[in-house]
Structure 1
């Protein structure tokens, strides 16, 4: 326990130093964290903590999903609900199918392996996307679209990955349609219902107290409780936490004073608390990503193969954004071309894809290749796309020029 605490404190001190340097150099904070982690790994600095599925899924992901969800106004989300749902559902399926086909035809991967990689890499990761937009102070409809889509297709990709993994472990044997429908329904509906029940319980208890510390503690229980309980029952923890966050945010934290179940002081305190928790979680996950990448030894795919994988993922995102946005060109949901460019280039991959890749059974064929390809895409997303996003936003005149 002492070693874990010491290691965590050391990582947080490194994160503080990176934050100060990144601000002075006008460098995206997440990029600085990944680069710092890689430098520490290459210098053979032993941190005592490694990136695992458990750390991402049970420690990092729930608070980041919850913090993003409680800050989304339902009134604004409702106005763009249709394009968000189309991009997150149809878009995830298109991206997964494109990547899967490319891995089969281009790199010769077996279909079950390619489908697994396509599913886990299809979702734009809210951890990376939200951190990037906070770095660039981006607000308005564009930020709402990207963050909302990221949250929802996060859940879609996690559900799709679970179904594909079940199929892959059955050696590609066909599953009965009723069985697939039942599994899908339980995963999705169960996660949403658990999120609603958790939110109702938390808001009910919050209405019985005026203590802001109790109110903030209840939101913490909601973030982790909804996620872990849903996972325990075989439902989507991602959907449970996002649902709980949306309901608690709109009926409690963001609601008008008379309608809110949380006191005015409690609302201010909860928002500040979750901003702090998200900062800590972001700091740890991106440092750990850098540490993991810095210590990797690439075997398969080769460097050329990894470049092809990155290009394929970018192509899959383009085939998601531009055709689907074209469907809304003559409607009130029309998205200008500069906004579409940001939706494409801002589709970062991050912690969720890594968590799903790390959760693959050790005996699964091509597991190491999937891990290597996932890390390569994540590093390109966070560093390459993260570094070029500020000049892109300025070039498209979506944020002021410095």
Structure 2
């Protein structure tokens, strides 16, 4: 691509992001929904029609800063208390959701078992990009915010491992139960170790400085370095970034690197996330506009219903296991967990990574786009009203 065209496209993205931010705050519409709508309109511009959407761009460039920024605001003391609930939702919950969706697509739509399994897995994990953006925008705090955001961060590890195992089967490999378990432990454990290693080194370096510019630099290295190190060894990059973010956010003065630089560092990462979210959701809108949804209308409707059913089958049984304990999840919170399980960039990135020779690959990608469109426009638009309904937001409060 011509260098001038790249510059023009980037400046146009910034302009659209700024205008959408102003308009959505004025009309009290979720920012992410506004960005996707703007992306659909922008798709008619010639230099937006080929906006990159590869798995590599999403995972290596756009996802790490969003995960890191969310992680540095999670307090370890609170996370540790809720870890049993979060871990169950992020493991058993993902498996239940994937199984319901895969079985339904096989029986109701007639897809092959492999295609159904891959789709069920890639659509099972709630997307941290969409979830965190929506909850931050609504201003939700407390236990509900922690449960929803932390689950969306952790359940990627489970989905990624299962996805890799099924892809290995497609490629002719036949993994045993033992090898699957070993892969799961290695992927999760390796990601945590890589994140702890990079985060620990960064903490040692930043504590020698009170300069917020140096803190910007080193925290950026922590976000991308932990991810790339873990991915290099085929571990979970997202868990690595999450671990590094938790370390940086919880160790040191005031929960961040230095007391003096706390506000500056938070402001820096808030802007980075604003920029990255804008690129992601405008990109989703551009590619949504290029889909021929009429061709896959029936499979898409069935998939949407199955994804909702799968989410219910994961949330309610998992939460029921804690009934009567101090970790009991309120019914209203369970419903928010169910309806707030948004799908977005993560599902699209995994779909883009499907083997090119997979039967029905293009159909799977189109159906994935349809589920994401429903998630953003229906679930996303109704989240603020739902949060008010269950008492998590005051009536009359604005989206930030």
Same fold (TM > 0.5):
yes
Match of 1:197 in 2: 197
Give secondary structure in 1 for the equivalent of 2:251: helix
Match of 1:100 in 2: 102
Query: 2:5 touches 2:47 (CA, 8 Å); kept in 1?
Result: no
Among candidates 45, 52, 55, match of residue 54 of structure 2: 52
Q: In the alignment, is residue 2 of structure 1 matched against residue 4 of structure 2? A: yes
Distance 2:125 2:103 in 1: 17
1:205-354 → structure 2 map (5 Å cutoff): 205-252=205-252, 254-255=254-255, 262-298=257-293, 302-354=296-348
Match of 2:74 in 1: 72
My pick for the range that moved more, 147-156 or 26-35, is 147-156
Give secondary structure in 1 for the equivalent of 2:252: helix
Give secondary structure in 2 for the equivalent of 1:264: coil
Give a deviation string over 1:283-338, Cα, whole Å, max 9, x none: 110000000010122475x2022011000000000111112111112011111111
My pick for the range that moved more, 373-382 or 266-275, is 266-275
Distance 1:93 1:138 in 2: 28
Moved over 6 A (4+): none
5+ residue gaps, structure 2: none
Give a deviation string over 1:13-35, Cα, whole Å, max 9, x none: 11111111111111000000001
Query: 2:158 touches 2:184 (CA, 8 Å); kept in 1?
Result: no
How far did 1:181 drift? Answer: 3.3
Match of 1:17 in 2: 19
TM-score relative to the length of structure 1 = 0.94
Query: 1:119 touches 1:164 (CA, 8 Å); kept in 2?
Result: no
Give secondary structure in 1 for the equivalent of 2:118: helix
How far did 1:397 drift? Answer: 2.2
How far did 1:246 drift? Answer: 1.0
Give secondary structure in 1 for the equivalent of 2:354: coil
5+ residue gaps, structure 1: none
Distance 2:208 2:290 in 1: 51
Match of 2:157 in 1: 155
How far did 1:234 drift? Answer: 1.2
Query: 1:113 touches 1:168 (CA, 8 Å); kept in 2?
Result: no
How many pairs were matched up? Answer: 393
Give a deviation string over 1:226-275, Cα, whole Å, max 9, x none: 111211211111111111111111113753xxxx7x32122222111111
Give secondary structure in 1 for the equivalent of 2:342: coil
Query: 1:4 touches 1:49 (CA, 8 Å); kept in 2?
Result: no
Query: 2:161 touches 2:183 (CA, 8 Å); kept in 1?
Result: no
Give a deviation string over 1:88-135, Cα, whole Å, max 9, x none: 111111111111111111111111111111111111111101111122
Give secondary structure in 2 for the equivalent of 1:205: helix
My pick for the range that moved more, 152-161 or 350-359, is 152-161
Query: 2:186 touches 2:235 (CA, 8 Å); kept in 1?
Result: yes
Give secondary structure in 2 for the equivalent of 1:273: helix
Distance 1:181 1:386 in 2: 35
